[in-house]
Every structure is written in structure tokens, then in C-alpha cells.
Structure 1
Amino acid sequence: MQEVLIIDDTEINLILFGALIKKLDNCQSHSFAGPLEGLAWAATHTPDLVIVDYMMPDIDGLEFIQRFRALPNCADVPILMITANDQKQVRYRALDSGANDFLAKPVDKVEFLARAKNMLSLSSARRKLADHAEWLASEVRKATEVILQRERDTVFRLCKAAEYRDPETGAHILRMAHYSQLIAKNLGLPVDQQELLLEAAPMHDIGKVGITDNILLKPGRLDEAEFEIMKQHAAFGYELLKNSNSRVLQAGAEIALGHHEKFDGSGYPQGLKGEAIPIFSRIVAVADVFDALTSERPYKRAWTLEQAVDFLNAGAGTHFDPRCVQAFLNGFDEVLVIRDRYQEEDDVEFAASKLL
């Protein structure tokens, strides 16, 4: 059912226009003698056509059109204005205000029906176009979700490949990824960036797949030569991920390359300093180190939370971006929730899938 809004302060015109609208198929009219009442109705309804007189009390037809156009969903509704034949200047101003067509007084019934029918057809076409656009947008959202699921599957499988080589656990990946998202949130990063970081952070050490077992799995401390080889994992991870068209893998490449950089420039592999280090890498550096320190491994005991916090504070401005450290500590209650939620998992696939 198409709805026609009629505004005219003359009762006989409201009756006439309403009777003529009834002659059109699938139409109903809503008539108001006062323009303000008509605007109040339009604030909660979206008509398919507006018929408005120029000369009215309170506000004239021009101001009515301007106010009507400002209402939600009313910017493109066809408007038919009733004017006198000699009111050309009014018509020009009405066109500037948003009127689409005119009828001259006295109104001819045949012309009224023809113009109203044409404008209702225009309105119907506009609505169909809007519905089609929404359908297309829905289909794009569905297709995008399929792509995102494929990306997530790729991320999961890359992380799983690294898990087979690295003594770190799936729960470590979950915790540091959520710590990273928390830091991003407390820094005020947009939600889409927070979510991107959550999905990309697990790839920070993917380059360890290129490190030999005798170094990667060595239970004791690495000597200087071995450590130089271990440092190559940052560049390996970047090379593995950098040419992807996926935003997630691109972010993963940036994180892999930069998460061992230090705020004072003493890190590797590029020796970047301060804000020259990408923000995602600065964030992951804090999240990764904190969880590594507080996690027990076959070759070390877990640090206490107090010791790990002291280490972050001591490294703020040298090892770590001070803003990232503070953002992490500002959300420490949430840190504890994340730490308790994601405990060590024997099933790596189950653990990694919690990121998806």
C-alpha cells in the first residue's frame, strides 16, 4: 500500500485530493490542514508522495519542504507542490528547496491523477532500487564472511604449523592475542583494528618454522651465534606473509617483522625506534613478553605477576612503548580474566579455534 501525505489548509482541497487519491490503485491518503501536524506524522512514517500547498498558516510550503527533507528517509520522497500560475519565483525557490513537480490552481483532476500516478511510480521504483541495493549489500556481507572464514582458517593452520615446531602452547597464543586486543582497546584504536589485531597477533612467531630444531628446541640458553640465527625468525615470518592480499595476513607480516623491535632502537631485525615501530608490533611486544614471563616452560619457571609487571614498568621507554605498557596495566583486571580463561590446552586445534 502506497501512502500519500496531503498538506493543505483548505478543507475542500483536502477532501478533493483525498477522493482523487482513492481512485489510484493500492493508495491511501493522510490529510492534514496544518503543516506542523503533517511534519509530525512524517517524523514516524515515510510517505511515497507528498502533496503540499504553498500558502499555509504557521509555515509556508517552502519551509515545510525544507523541514521535511531533513527528516530521516525523506530526502528522496517525491513532492508535488500546489501553486498559482503567476508564482514563478515561488516555483524556482521550491525547486531549490526540493520540490519535484507543480500543479497550478485551480487544480485539474485529470492532470492531478496523471502527475500523482507518475510520481508514485517514481517512488515505487526508488523503493525497489533501495531494496535491491540492500539485497546486494546483504549478498556482499555473506560473501565477505565466507572470505573472512577462509582467512581465519588460513591463520589457524599457519599457527598450527608453528605450534608443531615451537614449544610455546596454544593457550599462550590465545592469551597474548587477547592481551593485544585489550591494549589496542585501551589505546583507543578503532574496533575494526582491535579485531584485526586479535586475528593477526597469533602469527607473530610464524617465522620459527624456518629455524632448525637444534636451535629452536634447545632447552638451555642460546649462545651468541645461535641467537643470531634465532633472530632470523622475524624476517622469515615477514617474508612468508607479506605478499598476501589478506588484511589479516598483511597485519601478521608487520607484527612478525616488528615484535622484537625495542622502543629505544636496540631491538631487531631493523633497529627501529619509538613510533617508527608499527603500533601493532609495539602492542604485541608487551602482550607476548608478559605472557612468556608468567608461563611455565620445561626450561624455566613462571614468574609471578608482580615480577612480570615490574619488568614491564622497568622496560617502559626502553624495551617497550610506555603508552602500550600503561594501556596494558590500566586493564589489568581484564588481563587476569583472560589469563584465567585460557589455560594450557593439550588440544592445540581446539585452543587456536577459540580465536575464530
Structure 2
Amino acid sequence: MSLLIVDDSKSSLAALKAAVREFSDRPIETFTNPLEALTRSREINFDIVLVDYMMPEMDGIAFIRKLRQQDCYEGVPIVMITSQTEREIKLEALEAGATDFLNKPFDRLELKARITNLIALRQAQLELADRAKSLDKAFRHATEQADMREQEIVWCLARAMALRDGNTGDHVERVANIALLIAEGVGLDRIQRRNIYLSAPLHDIGKIGISDALLQKPGKLDPDEIEQMRRHVPIGIDILRGSSAEVARVATAIIAGHHEKWDGNGYPLGLARDEIPIEARIVAVADVFDALCSDRPYKRAWSLEEAYNEIIACSGSHFDPACVAAFRRKWPAIKALFSNEESSQQVASIA
């Protein structure tokens, strides 16, 4: 801890420094020029400040006001030394940020008592600040660990569902990464992007309640089978029902809305335009694009160019035009996901 003393009188400075030295060996810096003292205060964080009131270039109140404008001096004890007794001066000093007052000429015992108390106060402030930093660090570490466990659980569920649906899990991983890129492209903030990235892999989790015969059927589904397949939406919603986790809330919105269409011709509710949650509108583009590019029991994989053209062609009918525009802007990064595993990992690191 260090002390700063500012007084335009060299004799007063010497007397104050000598008096403080009688009961404290802490570093002391003295200045007769308040402007020089302010400059020095930006270079070193003083823990106690004593400043005279009557000075030619800048009085003590103006000095205190300037000092308090620096973030690191918000809580530093500042003592104004003055021979003035006017109540208005002391009130103004208090409003400027003075912590205490010392009469001039000063009494050594009074000086010792006040400075000793203020040093103890400052020490307590610093210890509390250190404790707060330690708690904040521990909290952030615990939060990071919880986030990691949350991600692990989500991806375990998603990969289990992917295997159930007849693929290796690449589909859900690419859907998550494409959705993340589109979310960034439409301007969502980091927390929203992260939630979409973690929730997107669960978009078809309701298929766990659909029979293998239906999931693995090599041909097209008949009308009754289509209705049975569409049941994966309410099943998925039921699976996550009751969870208070934000990721579960976002995943539920995605499950419920990623088969809706911008023009209102989707299912299960026939929602249109902004009635469909933005998370679902984003994942709809990502899901359809990757599904087109993937082999399925009932179809061959389309080329990237064919699938890209289909997404563009369905802007304003199936898909939100803003999401398609973001898809187009992010196309180089999206295309790279299909040829470079490292690109997929780099995208995921944005979340």
C-alpha cells in the first residue's frame, strides 16, 4: 500500500511525511503540483491520498473531483487537509468525493488515528476485492464446467438419435454448424448462437418414438406413414417438456417449428412468417440442406450445388428470406463443412 500527499507548501509536505513516517513505513510520494500528482496517479494506484485545499493551480476539491473520475480511485480513501471551517467548503468536498478531513495545522495524534483507520479500511477493501475476484473466477470455472457437461449430454443424445435414424451422426453435427453460421449471418448474439448450436442436434429427437420399419423404409411413405412420421414432432416436444434449461426451451421451439414453412404450408400448426421462432427458421434451412446432401434409404444424395440451388429457390416459400440470405453469405464456410473436418471444428468454436 502506498500514500500520496499533495500540498503546494514544501514545509507542510515535509512535516506531513515525517509525521506519517512515525507510525507507518509504507511508501509515500509527495507533490507540490497537483497536476503532476494527477499524472502520477495514472501510473500508480495509490491507496491513501492526502490533499491540501488551498493550492494555486488547482484547489483540493477540484483535485479530488479529477481523481475520482479515474476508475481505480472510486473507493480510495481521500483526506482533505484544510484550515477552512466553512460548512459549504466541506460539503462541496464531500460531494466531490472526500472521505475525511484533517485540520491545518494538524495534530499528530489525530493524523495517526485517522490515517491508521483509513489504512485498515483500504486493506479491507483490497481483501474484499481479491475475494470477489477469486469468487468470480471460481464461478466462471464452475459455469464453464457446467456448460461442457451440458454440451456433452446434448451431443450424446444427438448421436444416439442419429444412429437410431440410420446415420453416423455427421448429419446432426453439420446441421448444428450450418445453423450456427446462419445465426451469425442474421446477427444473433453469442448466447443465442450458442443455444441454437446446442439445440439444433435435438431437432429430430422425437424420432426415437418412430418405428424402425418406418425410419428405414427404402421407398416413399404413403399418406398414413407420413402422418405417423410427423408424430416425431409432438414426441420430441414431450421428451423435453418440463425442463427449465434454456437449451431445452430453444430445442423445443426448434422441434416444434422446423417443419413449418414461411408461407404457412408446413406442419404441425401451419404457422407462417414471424409466427415461426427464429431458431426454427434457421434450423429448417440447415436441416433441409444437409438432408438433401445426404444419402437416405429413400433417395440418393444431391450435389452441393443442387442442394444450394434448391434452398435459394425456396426462399420466401419454404424458408425465411433473411435466413436464406444469411445462408448465401456464409456459403463458403458452409461448403467447407462437407470437405474438411477441421473447418467443422473451427465453426463449432464460435459457439
Q: Which residue of 1 aligns with 2:318?
A: 319
Residue type of the alignment partner of 2:232 = H
Residue type of the alignment partner of 2:273 = G
- CA positional deviation for 1:354: 9.5
Asked if the contact 2:159–2:168 (Cα under 8 Å) also holds between the matched residues in 1, the reply is no
Q: What RMSD in Å do the two structures reach over aligned CA positions?
A: 2.1
Q: Which residue of 2 aligns with 1:136?
A: 135
Distance 1:26 1:192 in 2: 50
Instruction: After superposition, give the CA deviation of every residue in 1:172-205 in whole Å (9 maximum; x if it has no partner).
Output: 1111111111111111111122122111111111
Q: Which residue of 2 aligns with 1:251?
A: 250
Q: Which residue of 2 aligns with 1:229?
A: 228
Q: Which residue of 2 aligns with 1:278?
A: 277
Residue type of the alignment partner of 2:49 = V
Residue type of the alignment partner of 2:200 = A
Distance 1:107 1:203 in 2: 73
Distance 1:141 1:187 in 2: 28
Secondary structure at the counterpart of residue 21 of structure 1: helix
Residue type of the alignment partner of 1:302 = A
Distance 1:355 1:18 in 2: 55
Secondary structure at the counterpart of residue 73 of structure 1: helix
Distance 1:182 1:354 in 2: 11
Indicate yes or no: 2:262 matched with 1:263.
Answer: yes
Q: Which residue of 2 aligns with 1:55?
A: 54
- CA positional deviation for 1:94: 0.8
Q: Identify which of structures 1 and 2 has the higher relative contact order when contacts are C-alpha pairs closer than 8 Å and 6+ apart.
A: 1
Distance 1:49 1:267 in 2: 69
Instruction: After superposition, give the CA deviation of every residue in 1:35-72 in whole Å (9 maximum; x if it has no partner).
Output: 22222222232221111111223322222212211112
Farther-moved stretch of structure 1 (217-226 vs 22-31)? 22-31
Q: Which residue of 1 aligns with 2:89?
A: 90
- CA positional deviation for 1:26: 4.9
Superposed counterparts of 1:33-112, under 5 Å: 33-112=32-111
Q: Which residue of 1 aligns with 2:155?
A: 156
Closer, same or farther: CA 139–219 of 1 in aligned 2, 3 Å: same
Identity of counterpart residues, as a percentage?
42
Asked if the contact 2:217–2:298 (Cα under 8 Å) also holds between the matched residues in 1, the reply is no
Instruction: After superposition, give the CA deviation of every residue in 1:18-48 in whole Å (9 maximum; x if it has no partner).
Output: 2233334451112122222222222232221
Q: Which residue of 2 aligns with 1:113?
A: 112
- CA positional deviation for 1:206: 0.7
Residue type of the alignment partner of 1:51 = L
- CA positional deviation for 1:91: 0.7
Distance 2:340 2:18 in 1: 68
Q: Which residue of 2 aligns with 1:179?
A: 178
Q: Which residue of 2 aligns with 1:302?
A: 301
Secondary structure at the counterpart of residue 80 of structure 1: strand
Secondary structure at the counterpart of residue 17 of structure 1: helix
Distance 2:65 2:349 in 1: 52
Closer, same or farther: CA 55–291 of 1 in aligned 2, 3 Å: same
Distance 1:60 1:281 in 2: 63
- Superposition TM-score, scaled by structure 1 size: 0.92
Distance 2:130 2:172 in 1: 43
Distance 1:115 1:136 in 2: 31
Asked if the contact 2:264–2:273 (Cα under 8 Å) also holds between the matched residues in 1, the reply is yes
Distance 1:130 1:354 in 2: 32
Residue type of the alignment partner of 1:193 = Q
Asked if the contact 1:4–1:48 (Cα under 8 Å) also holds between the matched residues in 2, the reply is yes
Q: Which residue of 1 aligns with 2:291?
A: 292
Asked if the contact 1:290–1:312 (Cα under 8 Å) also holds between the matched residues in 2, the reply is yes
Farther-moved stretch of structure 1 (121-130 vs 134-143)? 134-143
- CA positional deviation for 1:298: 4.3
- Superposition TM-score, scaled by structure 2 size: 0.93
Distance 1:35 1:100 in 2: 18
Asked if the contact 2:219–2:297 (Cα under 8 Å) also holds between the matched residues in 1, the reply is no
Residue type of the alignment partner of 2:158 = C
Instruction: After superposition, give the CA deviation of every residue in 1:83-108 in whole Å (9 maximum; x if it has no partner).
Output: 12423211101111111100111111
Distance 2:134 2:253 in 1: 36
Farther-moved stretch of structure 1 (7-16 vs 317-326)? 7-16
Secondary structure at the counterpart of residue 288 of structure 1: helix
Asked if the contact 1:199–1:355 (Cα under 8 Å) also holds between the matched residues in 2, the reply is no
For this pair of structures, how many residues does the alignment match?
347
Closer, same or farther: CA 26–202 of 1 in aligned 2, 3 Å: farther
- CA positional deviation for 1:75: 0.8
- CA positional deviation for 1:155: 0.8
Q: Which residue of 1 aligns with 2:19?
A: 20
Q: Which runs of 5+ in 1 are unaligned?
A: 344-349
Q: Which residue of 2 aligns with 1:6?
A: 5
